[in-house]
């Protein structure tokens, strides 16, 4: 693919569990309209991150962020602890910015990056709702970063994130798409095509693509984000296999005895 050129102003990418058809995202966008430069592109990357699940979100965000150019500002919010003592942070990782809670959500991206800088958001708005920091705290910060403001008064350098999930893969289902395909937290680059994937008592072999898989039989393949995905051609793997987010998966290498 052609190189992404950083846009000016940079794009803001939203990654939340707020739901695409609910009242939360438009309130965030009203704040971005006010605080970010005119013509800032705002992209709804995903608003159906598994609800309250920062761990699945962390691995999904790490898989999806390479699609976006340097300079991109991610506002990533999956925040069951909103209103508690968890911190609010800005992470700069390999030239991209991430604004969100310090609850693990940004920690897989941070752990896999070559260059990382972490800051705590010490600024607080005059009126901060107890339940919607996406609108009141994270959106203004994302908007100001898009203006090129580096927020020296509002951020404080930090030694790193408090809650860290590490750089490794996650051997679980982390996302179910609307077709019923199941994304795992395993990067396919490290899994041999000769390996089988076990999940919920099912044993799945590899196919390169849907059109090459036997009709209506579950298989695994490297999906367009580079993750191991479990799918059924023309059907819903989630429904037919009885699997969902959180289900564990196991890779059985070809040389291992069954």
First to last CA, the chain: 40
102/207 Cα distance (integer angstroms): 38
Shortest Cβ distance from residue 111 to its own copies (Å)?
21
Annotate each residue in 39-78 with x if it binds its own copies (CB under 8 A) or - if it does not, as one string: x-x-xxxxxx--xx-------x---x--xxx---------
Which range of residues in 18-26, 87-95, 157-165, 185-193 is near its own copies by CB under 8 A?
Answer: 18-26
Shortest Cβ distance from residue 213 to its own copies (Å)?
10
Q: Using CB under 8 A, which of 233, 240, 244, 252 touches its own copies?
A: 233
**Chain residues 112-171 in contact with its own copies, contact rule CB under 8 A:** 125-127, 129-132, 135-136, 140
Q: Using CB under 8 A, which of 37, 84, 148, 150 touches its own copies?
A: 84
Cβ neighbours of residue 60 closer than 8 Å, sequence gap 6 or more: 46, 49, 174, 175, 183
Do the beta carbons of residue 93 and residue 115 sit within 8 Å? yes
Closest CA to 173 of 211, 217, 220, 209: 220
| Coil, strand or helix at 64 | helix
Shortest Cβ distance from residue 31 to its own copies (Å)?
8
Tell whether residue 27 is a contact of its own copies (CB under 8 A). Answer: yes
- Return the number of the residue (13 or 230) whose C-beta is nearest its own copies: 13
The residue count for the chain: 258
């Amino acid at each position: 693919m052609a190189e992404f050129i950083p846009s000016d102003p940079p794009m803001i990418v939203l990654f939340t569990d707020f739901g695409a058809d609910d009242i939360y995202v438009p309130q965030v966008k009203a704040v971005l309209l006010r605080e970010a430069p005119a013509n800032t592109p705002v992209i709804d990357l995903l608003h159906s991150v598994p609800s309250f699940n920062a761990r699945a979100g962390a691995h999904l965000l790490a898989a999806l962020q390479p699609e976006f150019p340097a300079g991109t500002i991610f506002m990533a919010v999956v925040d069951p602890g909103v209103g508690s003592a968890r911190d609010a942070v800005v992470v700069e990782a390999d030239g991209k910015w991430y604004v969100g809670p310090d609850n693990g959500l940004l920690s897989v991206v941070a752990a896999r990056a070559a260059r990382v800088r972490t800051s705590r958001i010490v600024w607080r708005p005059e009126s901060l709702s107890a339940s919607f920091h996406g609108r009141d705290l994270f959106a203004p910060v994302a908007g100001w970063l898009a203006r090129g403001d580096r927020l020296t008064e509002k951020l404080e350098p930090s030694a790193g994130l408090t809650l860290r999930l590490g750089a490794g893969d996650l051997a679980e289902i982390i996302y179910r798409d609307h077709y019923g395909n199941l994304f795992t937290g395993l990067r396919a680059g490290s899994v041999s095509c000769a390996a089988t994937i076990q999940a919920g008592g099912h044993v799945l072999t590899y196919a390169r693509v849907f059109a090459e898989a036997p009709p209506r039989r579950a298989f695994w393949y490297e999906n367009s984000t580079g993750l191991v995905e479990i799918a059924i051609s023309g059907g819903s793997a989630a429904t037919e296999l009885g699997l969902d987010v959180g289900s564990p998966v196991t890779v059985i290498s070809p040389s291992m005895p069954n």
